[in-house]
């Protein structure tokens, strides 16, 4: 069965592509979820209009993602965490913490777009990549500092 993709589908194709898929996959998944339409003669004629609209939309998304990246590059996120003598944190800084800090600064970024391979568990400065668009990645500046504990000398 041939279908025209209405959206990007991982491991299958991009919006506007004509792809050949198994009959069951097309009828039971792609068509009911509005990810694709059948590749009929009439739909094939409309594919150029779909591609042009997709190109305009993608260009607009890239433009807004680049603007957001420019704003985020100027931002430095500082986290205060309890740490041991050698700089190891008692907790960690996760992508959820980074997303919450960005939200406090007025940026709404989904935590799944923040690519932190493993939580930060030490003090220091880090660059955390965030995928804003398929073509736009920004490196967020994250600094983890120790909480200032006021312990009296005994």
Identify whether residues 45 and 85 lie together within a single domain: no
Of the residues 64, 98, 117, the one at which a domain ends: 64
The pLDDT tens digits of the residues spanning 77-117 come to: 999 999 988 888 888 999 999 999 999 999 999 989 999 98
Tell me whether residue 151 is in a domain: no
The pLDDT tens digits of the residues spanning 44-84 come to: 888 878 778 878 988 899 999 999 999 999 999 999 999 98
Tell me whether residue 82 is in a domain: yes
Q: Is 24 exposed, middle or buried (0-12, 13-18, 19+ CB in 10 A)?
A: exposed
Percent of the chain with pLDDT over 70: 96
Identify whether residues 142 and 78 lie together within a single domain: yes
d(CA 73, CA 140): 6
Residues 6+ apart with CB under 8 A from 26: 1, 3, 36, 38
d(CA 86, CA 37): 59
Tell me whether residue 152 is in a domain: no
User: What are the phi and psi torsion angles at 106 (to 5°)?
Assistant: 95, 10
Identify whether residues 54 and 119 lie together within a single domain: no
The rounded mean pLDDT for the chain is 88
Half-sphere exposure of 13 (CA within 13 A, CB side): 15
Identify whether residues 101 and 134 lie together within a single domain: yes
Please say whether the dihedral angle defined by the alpha carbons of residues 70, 115, 62 and 105, taken in this order, is positive or negative.
Answer: negative
Quickly state the pLDDT bin for 140 (edges 50, 70, 90): very high
Contact assessment for residue 37 and residue 16, using Cβ atoms and an 8 Å cutoff: no
Identify whether residues 84 and 60 lie together within a single domain: no
Q: Find the domain containing 47 and state its range.
A: 2-64
d(CA 130, CA 115): 6
Domain CATH number, residue 111: 3.10.430.100
Q: Of 4-8, 25-29, 85-89, 145-149, where does mean pLDDT reach its minimum?
A: 145-149
């Amino acid at each position: 069965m041939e279908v025209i993709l209405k959206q990007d589908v991982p491991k299958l194709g991009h919006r506007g592509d004509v792809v050949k898929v198994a009959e069951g996959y097309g009828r039971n998944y792609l068509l009911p979820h509005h990810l694709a339409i059948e590749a009929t003669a009439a739909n094939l004629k409309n594919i150029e209009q779909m591609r042009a609209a997709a190109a305009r939309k993608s260009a607009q998304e890239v433009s807004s993602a680049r603007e957001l990246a420019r704003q985020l590059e100027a931002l430095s996120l500082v986290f205060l965490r309890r740490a041991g003598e050698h700089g190891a944190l008692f907790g960690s800084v996760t992508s959820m913490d980074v997303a919450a800090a960005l939200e406090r600064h007025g940026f709404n970024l989904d935590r799944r777009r923040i690519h932190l391979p493993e939580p930060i568990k030490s003090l220091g400065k880090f660059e955390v990549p965030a995928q804003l668009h398929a073509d736009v990645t920004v490196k967020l500046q994250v600094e983890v500092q120790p909480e200032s504990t006021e312990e009296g000398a005994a």
